[in-house]
Amino acid sequence: MTALVSGLVECGVDSKRADFFITHMHADHAGLVSVLAGEGARIYFGWADAEIMRSTTPEHWQKQIDFARDRGFPAEELEKAIGSHPGRRYSPRTSLNLCVSKDGDNMTVGDYQFECIETPGHTEGHICLYERDKKVLICGDLILVDITPNITLSSEERNPLKDYLMSLDKVYDLDVEVVLPGHRSIFRDHKKRIRELKEHHLTRLEEVVSILRKGEQNAFEVASQMTWDIGYKSWDLFPPAQKWFAFGEALAHLKYLEEEGDVGWRGEKEGVVFSLTQSKKEAHQ
Ligand SMILES: [Zn+2]
């Protein structure tokens, strides 16, 4: 709050008279908006994230808990993971005047003419702003340097990794000189970073396939064997919240492989397990 307010003051922005464009619903991007915004402020969101913001109820969390438990997340750790989830602790507390921003919507701010670009993947309703003349891309958590945006699956209906890779392709050809991301440093060469991110996910997909070559497993077991760039010596030492993010990331990769015809799953309730399809197994032989 202190950093954000001092930044706004430095730019000469009176937050009580401002409208807000929120790239996505995650608490580290949207959490303070209800404190900052004045009465009647317009809060722009992508449609899917706006839907979630409007309907985050205890059932929303329960659905995620059930989904994770069925796919192997240990019940005793689930409570801790969800209890410490930033989305639960830091989401905006009051109801907001949400306005849906769609692909191609234009917004004029002073000398800037911004265009909204829908970029689902990191969240379903993730949106960016592009300034064509000034060649500026405000990209939220679509493209980050040093770290990779978390791509997670929390219900069966979506294929977030596929969405994400398509969103990267969608912005690749834009003429961009400066990228303003939601985390870490400002950068310039968005094309180079996009190529690295795509390569990263290809490597991850291959890693998941090689883990499944050992045999049928649940998603928690798959996640525990993936490579994680984190300062804990073993999977068992990961805090539950980190296991939760890793698990969601593993599921997003499993889902992508499933739609590619490389992975299948069977089972129900707490016994959903994944394996390579016969054709994928044979392709390797
Ligand atoms: Zn985020």
pLDDT tens for residues 21-42?
Answer: 999 999 899 989 989 999 889 9
Mean pLDDT of the chain, nearest integer: 92
Q: Which residues contact 88 (CB under 8 A, 6 or more apart)?
A: 61, 82
Q: What is the CA radius of gyration of the chain?
A: 20
28 CA → ligand 1 middle, Å: 7
Burial classification of residue 241, based on how many CB atoms lie within 10 Å of its CB (0-12 exposed, 13-18 middle, 19 or more buried): middle
69 CA → ligand 1 middle, Å: 23
**Predicted pLDDT of residue 88:** 67
**Predicted pLDDT of residue 154:** 80
CA-closest candidate to residue 195, choices 169, 160, 174 = 169
Q: Which residues contact 17 (CB under 8 A, 6 or more apart)?
A: 38, 41
Burial classification of residue 72, based on how many CB atoms lie within 10 Å of its CB (0-12 exposed, 13-18 middle, 19 or more buried): buried
Q: What percent of the chain has pLDDT over 70?
A: 95
pLDDT at 282 over 90: no
**Predicted pLDDT of residue 93:** 61
Q: 1 and 63 in contact (C-beta within 8 Å)?
A: no
Q: 20 and 82 in contact (C-beta within 8 Å)?
A: no
254 CA → ligand 1 middle, Å: 21
What tokens were used for 178? 């400066």
**Predicted pLDDT of residue 283:** 84
What is the tens place of the pLDDT at every residue in 181-240? 999 999 999 999 999 999 999 999 999 999 999 999 999 999 999 999 989 999 999 999
Average the pLDDT over 165-176 and give the result: 98
Alpha carbon 252 to its chain centroid, in Å, reads 11
DSSP 8-class letter at 37: P
pLDDT tier at 138, thresholds 50, 70, 90: very high
**Predicted pLDDT of residue 89:** 66
182 CA → ligand 1 middle, Å: 8
66 CA → ligand 1 middle, Å: 22
**Predicted pLDDT of residue 143:** 98
**Predicted pLDDT of residue 285:** 66
Global confidence as pTM: 0.94
Q: 65 and 82 in contact (C-beta within 8 Å)?
A: yes
What is the tens place of the pLDDT at every residue in 204-217? 999 999 999 999 99
Which neighbouring-strand residues pair with 98?
43
Could you give the CA distance from residue 121 to residue 141 in angstroms, rounded to a whole number? 10
Q: Which residues contact 29 (CB under 8 A, 6 or more apart)?
A: 22, 23, 140, 141, 182
pLDDT tier at 56, thresholds 50, 70, 90: low
Could you give the CA distance from residue 55 to residue 45 in angstroms, rounded to a whole number? 14
124 CA → ligand 1 middle, Å: 11
278 CA → ligand 1 middle, Å: 36
266 CA → ligand 1 middle, Å: 31
Q: Which residue type does 278 have? A: Q
Strand 178-181 and strand 43-45: the pairing is: unpaired
**Predicted pLDDT of residue 197:** 98
237 CA → ligand 1 middle, Å: 24
Could you give the CA distance from residue 232 to residue 197 in angstroms, rounded to a whole number? 23
Average the pLDDT over 132-159 and give the result: 94
What is the tens place of the pLDDT at every residue in 77-112? 888 888 776 666 666 666 788 999 999 999 999 999
185 CA → ligand 1 middle, Å: 15
123 CA → ligand 1 middle, Å: 7
Cα dist. 47→51, 98, 100 in Å? 6, 9, 5
Could you give the CA distance from residue 68 to residue 155 in angstroms, rounded to a whole number? 9
What is the tens place of the pLDDT at every residue in 241-251? 899 999 999 99
215 CA → ligand 1 middle, Å: 33
CA-closest candidate to residue 120, choices 81, 163, 159 = 163
